[in-house]
Structure 1
Amino acid sequence: MPKKSLVICLFLVLLAIACNKKTDLYKVVGVKDGDTMVLLSPQNLQVTVRLAEIDCPEKSQAFGQAAKQFASDLCFGKMVKLIVNNTDRYGRTVGWIELEDGTSVNKQLIKNGYAWQYRAYSKSMELAMLEQQARQNHLGLWQDENPTPPWNFRKGEREQRTEQKVDKPKKKRTYKKRRRKQRDTVAF
């Protein structure tokens, strides 16, 4: 009997601890662009987060500033939950951000027409459907007849930079002969 009550007490204690455990919440302290945020961790460390499975227009691209503003209006200054997927080649955390009420920032950007599903990194049918609905309703960037996906925009910018480097003529190095001062010559 004592063994049984000990197990029950231990179970109740563990259950109480599990129920009281709060998920770590982060504060959104910066929105770099539509799909990149800066969060402040509970330990007061800044974490740059690239939103997983979506791709917003670049800031210099059509609807880039609108995507950034939408993301900012949605979550800047708010407490959010971070669900980490991995880290990208730039050292950013890649993940999902949810508001305290469970609203997914990633999904809201697609649903409102401010992002594409990043199909190279996402196979989500839900995101595909949200994007299709935004297209059909001509929301956000889907107001344009033929919007350029950000991955194609970035590729075009890279090619343009490469072409500029190739087109730039190389300067020829010229070497000036150094003149030695004659130490022995004295002018009268």
Structure 2
Amino acid sequence: MKLLFLFIVFLHVVSCSTETDSKTIYGKVVSIADGDTFTLLSNENKQIKIRLHGIDCPEKKQDFGQVAKQKLSDLIFGKTVRVVQKDIDRYKRIVALVYDEQNNCINTEMLKAGLAWHYTKYDQNPEWQQLENSARANHLGLWSQPSPTPPWEWRKNN
């Protein structure tokens, strides 16, 4: 009976450790690397590299790469943000959902502006795909080009 109780407790702990384990970090954005990566100075005074989850912006040398970087800067540089960690990538960056002080999701703001692809390899949110589709249909940002090259393809060739 004791073993059964311990097993039930174990199952409860394991089942509760999915989304609730998301780590939330607050801090000030101190530098912008490109359209989907920035450095945060946390409230604990640590500099942390952050990669926006679920989107992929043009690389700096691609068309609209500098525009995407500037847009991200306009949205968050020098401002306090809330970072909700989703993962850590192979470059040791925190991959996250990022929110400004008005609780706007920065990831989706980049999609709405037409300055990012919905990165379906890592995110399958249909609402985010709708945002990309809307930007495409309205020829916003990089979608003003006839056939923009996705950054994951561009990186393979450069």
Asked whether the two chains share a fold, i.e. TM above 0.5, the reply is yes
Alpha-carbon shift at residue 148 of structure 1 (Å): 0.3
Larger strand fraction of residues: 2
Equivalent residue of 1:102, what SS? coil
Instruction: Calculate the TM-score normalised by the size of structure 1.
Output: 0.70
1:19-38 pair list within 5 angstroms = 25-38=26-39
Output the amino acid matched with 1:154: R
1:78-117 pair list within 5 angstroms = 78-117=79-118
Answer with 1 or 2: which has the greater Rg.
Answer: 1
1:1-188 pair list within 5 angstroms = 25-157=26-158
Runs of 4+ off more than 3 Å: none
Q: Structure 2: any 5+ residue segments left out of the alignment?
A: 1-23
Give the RMSD, CA atoms, in angstroms: 0.9
CA contact (8 A) 2:25 2:84 kept: no
* Cα distance change, pair 112–53 in 1 and its aligned pair in 2 (3 A): same
> What is the count of residue pairs matched by the alignment?
135
CA distance in 1, matches of 2:109, 2:25: 22
Alpha-carbon shift at residue 25 of structure 1 (Å): 2.3
Instruction: Calculate the TM-score normalised by the size of structure 2.
Output: 0.84
Q: Structure 1: any 5+ residue segments left out of the alignment?
A: 1-22, 158-188
Cα displacement string for residues 136-179 of structure 1 (whole angstroms, at most 9, x for unaligned residues): 0000000000000000000111xxxxxxxxxxxxxxxxxxxxxx
Alpha-carbon shift at residue 89 of structure 1 (Å): 0.5
Q: Kindly indicate whether structure 1 or structure 2 has the higher relative contact order, using CA contacts under 8 Å at least 6 residues apart.
A: 2
CA contact (8 A) 2:81 2:98 kept: yes
CA distance in 2, matches of 1:51, 1:97: 7
| Identity of matched residues, % | 49
Cα displacement string for residues 30-69 of structure 1 (whole angstroms, at most 9, x for unaligned residues): 1100000100101100000010000000000000000000
* Cα distance change, pair 90–24 in 1 and its aligned pair in 2 (3 A): closer
CA distance in 2, matches of 1:25, 1:78: 11
Output the amino acid matched with 1:137: N
